[in-house]
Amino acid sequence: MIRRIASRAAASLAVVFGAVTLIFLILNWLPGDPAALIAGEGASAATIAQLRAQLGTDRPLILQYRDYLLGLLHGDLGRSYATHQPVLERLAAQLPSTVWLTLGATAVAVVVGVSLGVVAAMQNDRWIDRTIQTLALVVASIPSFWLGLLLILVFSVKLRWFPVIGDGSASAAVLPVACLGVVASVPLLRMVKSGILEGLHDPYVVTLRAKGLGAPRTLLVHVLRNALMATVTLVSVLVGELLSGAVVIETLFARQGIGRITVEAIGQKDLPVVQGAILLASIAYVVANLVVDVSYAIVDPRTRLRSATVSR
């Protein structure tokens, strides 16, 4: 297990290095002068030239790249071109909002997706199943942006249950988390349902039933556990998707977020900030994968057995 984690970590480092280098090249290859973008419309030529010198963007690329890597080794992510603020500070200010939104939405997606998936499988082809499938289709088809607007109109403007935008209270997080989570629950729901339906035909189910185990217990304890294997993988992919999909929801609900900062920084060619965000995303990706590995072990005892055999 430890050797596995070590090789994982080494691979992750390579991934991070590659991502950082690639982004550096792409951003520099894209047209646009960060100094002119920061100076703003109507700035004088002298202002722009001065900014270029201050940012160091007038130096050869290779030197800029070297300095960036050296800084990184010292844990220095550099300063934002636009605000002179340390990148770490800038990202840290936005991170909690994104983390809570992503975690909350993931939790909603898992609870809603798995429970509705089980119900749909149990009620396969009956009206409850058809209703769930139709709703899932509708939610999957409408843009999350529009769904969010709908939630705001109903629950904030009409019913006044929740605030539209954050006011420091937990209730302000309900709508954005629900919106993002419900959309993300659709693929989970479908996967759980089809996983259960497939599992029901496996020989072990016949054995269990023949031994006299009741249908609900067979389904919930044994079949669902098998179906969850694939679902766990999907959740790890989902977390990444939520992180990026959050931009729209963050904008709609006027929330802070890493996504918004990254989009803005790309537009401004604020290289240090983009690099920092990519670094963060790579780390989040690696962590999510580790968590999934551990969850495999919990859900599927075979994984534990196998790794135990290998390490011996």
Partner 1 sequence: MTRTLSRRAALAAMTSAGVAFVGACRRGGDPGHAPGAQDTPRPGGNLLFAFDGAAVTQFALDPHKSAFAPHHRIMRSIFDSLVVARPGHRFGPWLARSWEMSPDARSYTFHLRDDVTFHDGTRFDAAAVKENLDRIANPKNALFALSDLGPYEAADVVDPLTVRVRFSAGFAPFLINLSKTSLGIHSPKALREFGDRVEDHPTGTGPFRLRSTTPGTEVALERNPDYRWAPEGAAHDGPAWLERLTFRNVPEESTRVAVLRSGQAAGADLVPPQNLLELRASPEFRVLEAELLNHNYSLFFNTNRAPWNDAKLREAFRLSLDLDAAVKTVYLGTFSRAWSPLSPSIFGYDRSLEGSWAPDRESARRSLDALGWTPGPDGVRVKDGKRLSVVIPDSQGNREKRLDLLTLLRHQLRESGFDVRIESQSGGTLLAKIGAGDFDVLAASQFAPDPDVLRRIYTPLVRSQFSVAKVDDAELNRILGSASEEAEPAARAQLYAQAQRRIVAQTYAIPAYVLLYNLVTASRARDVAIDLHGFPTFHGAWLAS
For binding to partner 1 (CB under 8 A), which residues are involved? 30-34, 36-37, 39-48, 50-51, 54, 80, 82-85, 90, 93-94, 149, 152-153, 156-157, 160, 163-167, 251-257, 260-261, 263-264, 266-269
16/19 Cα distance (integer angstroms): 5
Among 138, 172, 167, smallest CA distance to 156 is for: 172
Residue 73 or 157 having the CB closest to partner 1:
157
**Nearer to partner 1 (CB atom), residue 113 or residue 148:** 148
Shortest distance, position 80 Cβ to partner 1, whole Å: 8
* Residue 31 DSSP label: S
Q: Which C-beta is closer to partner 1: that of 101 or that of 232?
A: 101
Q: Which residues on neighbouring strands pair with residue 79, listed in sequence order? A: 86
7 vs 54, which CB is nearer to partner 1?
Answer: 54
Shortest Cβ distance from residue 157 to partner 1 (Å)?
5
> Rounded to an integer, what distance in angstroms lies between the CA atom of residue 79 and that of residue 260?
18
CB 187 within 8 A of CB 234: yes
- For residue 156, how many other CB atoms are within 10 A of its CB? 17
| Nearer to partner 1 among residue 45 and residue 62 (C-beta) | 45
In the complex, least distance from residue 287 CB atom to partner 1, rounded to whole angstroms: 24
State phi, psi for 79 to the nearest 5 degrees.
Answer: -115, 150
CB of 117 to partner 1, least distance (A): 32
The amino acid sitting at 97 is S
**What letter does residue 79 receive in the DSSP assignment?**
B
Strand partners, 86: 79
Q: What minimum distance in Å lies between the beta carbon of 102 and partner 1?
A: 17
